[in-house]
């Protein structure tokens, strides 16, 4: 027989949230978790960051940040004020009143959702779950994950969602390098598993961010984030395809987009590139594609967009190969190439799913001697899919360095790069970001791709 509803757990949590004495635990101290933990600590919550990487934990506890969005000076002030501490000891979850899950949700080798980090984290939380805790999943995933996967793991303890503990979903919306929006200023979608959980998650995030948007269910909240990323993936695929078509017609797609966006309605500019990067857009749409199989509904549009975007590194490679042969009579197997930009987007150090890694891997296999320069990435860290690139170091960018390469391929348009130097010093430049035209630079050595 079920126990009668006991409002004690909810009342205790509400009182702690109101007083901002609720101990907040953030699991996963990466590009999502660390900025969130810093925001919670800055708003007055005693905050504990959890991560398996002990080197990260040690670094954070000395006030040194490895995430651009959290300056070391700010982190150091939170550490010294005892507002934030990091730990690899997950038994401390029992002392947390709010637990936020910010772990990766990658794809498997077969392009299927890999929820291993989410399930392992939920099981760890379950081992320390107690009445009065709020558990929030922020990791991007398919609709149904919170209800169908996280909730049963937590309820296997005998505690009940909505009565003993409170469960919710709030999708992360981080945009590394965005100078206009931050964790605090980006509107926060929230949803709870039941009215008490909804009230608790609203109360928590309302004290951390400036704008909370509540939706009717955790499934809707999960679908919202997937929709945002599908929207971007599909539109980027469209302009990538237009780039290929217009190139054959001798038309500059960037000029077309600049002209089209003068229309004050009915058009939103997206820009082509060498392929998608980051943790979200190359991965998240496939979570929906996988889940849709359960309902017998094909997602042809999403899958086609994925094919187009995934093919862009090879398109750029083809343009490079053609230009080398036509202009200098050099094959890729004998060429020396400099990749300019390793990060997946400009002005950040984030290399997750970067097309530059894919490009370097392809060039390696073709026998090309390939190096890279990136003012934000001094050394290639270990990655699961590009293990052979780990340890390579960014080469200096100077006239002498440029003269030693047969071609420079611009993958990431960092603002800290001297493009006039590249334009004047490189024998051949393959520009995938239109940086030289935007900078007013021109030359017969520049090829757009």
Is 2 contained in some domain? no
Give the domain-ending residue among 153, 182, 216.
216
Give Cα separations from 259 to 181, 240, 268, 280 (angstroms).
Answer: 27, 17, 12, 29
Going by C-alpha positions, the residue among 251, 432, 262 that lies closest to residue 355 is 432
For the chain, the distance separating the N- and C-terminal CA atoms, rounded to the nearest angstrom, is 67
Is 390 contained in some domain? yes
Q: Do 285 and 356 fall within a single domain?
A: no
Q: Do 422 and 384 fall within a single domain?
A: yes
Q: Do 261 and 147 fall within a single domain?
A: no
- Could you tell me the maximum CA-CA distance found in the chain, to the nearest angstrom? 81
* Token pair listed for 189: 């979608």
Catalytic annotation present for 280: yes
CATH number of the domain enclosing 179: 3.40.50.720
Asked if 40 and 24 touch (Cβ cutoff 8 Å), the reply is yes
Asked if 277 and 342 touch (Cβ cutoff 8 Å), the reply is no
Predicted local distance difference test score (pLDDT) of residue 173: 94
Q: Do 24 and 112 fall within a single domain?
A: yes
Q: What is the pTM of this model?
A: 0.91
CATH number of the domain enclosing 298: 1.10.1040.10
b/e per residue 348-369 (b: at least 16 CB within 10 A)? bbbbbbbbbbbbbbbbeeeebe
* Number of domain units in the chain: 3
**If you search the block for the tokens 């008490």, which residue do you land on?**
196
Which candidate in 40, 96, 102, 280 is catalytic?
280
Q: Do 156 and 68 fall within a single domain?
A: yes
* Token pair listed for 104: 């990766």
The beta-carbon contacts of 204-207 under 8 Å, at least 24 apart in sequence, are 204/17, 204/22, 204/98, 204/134, 204/136, 205/170, 207/17, 207/20, 207/43, 207/44, 207/45
Predicted local distance difference test score (pLDDT) of residue 4: 45
Alpha helices per DSSP H over 66-178:
72-80, 116-126, 145, 151-155
Going by C-alpha positions, the residue among 163, 161, 160, 171 that lies closest to residue 215 is 171
Is 3 contained in some domain? no
Predicted local distance difference test score (pLDDT) of residue 140: 95
Q: Do 87 and 21 fall within a single domain?
A: yes
Is 168 contained in some domain? yes
Give the domain-ending residue among 196, 216, 236.
216
Predicted local distance difference test score (pLDDT) of residue 7: 65
Residue 40: domain span:
9-216
Predicted local distance difference test score (pLDDT) of residue 218: 98
Q: What is the pLDDT along the chain (449 residues), one digit of tens a residue?
A: 344 444 678 999 999 999 999 999 999 999 999 999 999 999 999 999 999 999 999 999 999 999 989 999 999 999 999 999 999 999 999 999 999 999 999 988 778 899 999 999 999 999 999 999 999 999 999 999 999 999 999 999 999 999 999 999 999 998 888 888 999 999 999 999 999 999 999 999 999 999 999 999 999 999 999 999 999 999 999 999 999 999 999 999 999 999 999 999 999 999 999 998 887 888 889 899 999 999 999 999 999 999 999 999 999 999 999 999 998 999 999 999 999 999 999 999 999 999 999 999 999 999 999 999 999 999 999 988 898 999 999 999 999 999 999 999 999 999 999 999 999 999 999 999 999 999 999 989 999 99
Q: Do 20 and 162 fall within a single domain?
A: yes
What one-character-per-residue DSSP string does 212-279 give?
EEE-S-HHHHHHHHHHHHHHHHHHHHHHHHHHHHHHHTT--HHHHHHHHTTSSSS-------S---SS
* Token pair listed for 181: 């929006």
């Amino acid at each position: 027989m079920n126990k009668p509803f006991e409002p004690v757990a909810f009342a205790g949590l509400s009182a702690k949230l109101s007083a901002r004495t609720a101990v907040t635990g953030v699991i996963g101290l990466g590009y999502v978790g660390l900025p969130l933990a810093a925001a919670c600590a800055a708003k007055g919550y005693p905050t504990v960051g959890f991560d398996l990487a002990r080197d990260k934990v040690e670094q954070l506890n000395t006030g040194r940040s490895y995430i651009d969005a959290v300056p070391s000076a700010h982190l150091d002030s939170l550490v010294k004020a005892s507002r934030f501490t990091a730990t690899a000891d997950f038994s401390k979850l029992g002392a947390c009143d709010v637990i936020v899950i910010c772990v990766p949700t990658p794809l498997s080798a077969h392009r299927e959702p890999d929820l291993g980090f989410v399930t392992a984290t939920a099981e760890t939380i379950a081992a320390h779950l107690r009445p009065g805790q709020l558990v929030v999943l922020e990791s991007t995933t398919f609709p149904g994950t919170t209800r169908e996967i996280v909730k049963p793991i937590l309820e296997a303890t005998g505690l009940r969602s909505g009565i003993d503990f409170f469960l919710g979903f709030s999708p992360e919306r981080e945009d590394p390098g965005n100078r206009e929006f931050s964790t605090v200023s980006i509107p926060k979608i929230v949803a709870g598993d039941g009215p008490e959980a909804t009230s608790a998650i609203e109360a928590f995030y309302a004290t951390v961010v400036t704008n909370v948007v509540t939706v009717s269910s955790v499934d809707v909240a999960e679908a919202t984030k997937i929709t945002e990323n599908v929207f971007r993936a599909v539109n980027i695929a469209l302009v990538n395809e237009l780039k290929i078509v217009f190139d054959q017609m001798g038309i500059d797609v960037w000029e077309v987009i600049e002209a089209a966006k003068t229309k004050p309605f009915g058009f939103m500019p997206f820009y082509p590139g060498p392929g998608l990067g980051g943790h979200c857009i190359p991965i998240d749409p496939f979570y929906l594609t996988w889940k849709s199989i359960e309902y017998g509904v094909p997602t042809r549009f999403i899958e086609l967009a994925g094919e187009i975007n995934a093919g862009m590194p090879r398109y750029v490679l083809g343009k490079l190969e053609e230009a080398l042969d036509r202009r200098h009579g050099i094959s890729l197997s004998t060429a020396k190439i400099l990749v300019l930009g390793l990060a997946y987007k400009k002005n950040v150090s984030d290399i997750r799913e970067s097309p530059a890694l894919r490009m370097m891997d392809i060039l390696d296999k073709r026998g090309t001697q390939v190096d890279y320069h990136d003012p934000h990435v001094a050394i290639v860290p270990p990655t699961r899919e590009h293990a052979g690139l780990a340890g390579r170091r960014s080469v200096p960018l100077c006239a002498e360095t440029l003269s030693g390469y047969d071609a420079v391929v611009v993958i990431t348009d960092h603002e800290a790069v001297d493009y006039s130097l590249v334009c004047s010093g490189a024998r051949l430049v393959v520009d995938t970001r239109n940086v030289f035209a935007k900078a007013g630079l021109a030359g017969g050595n520049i090829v757009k791709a």
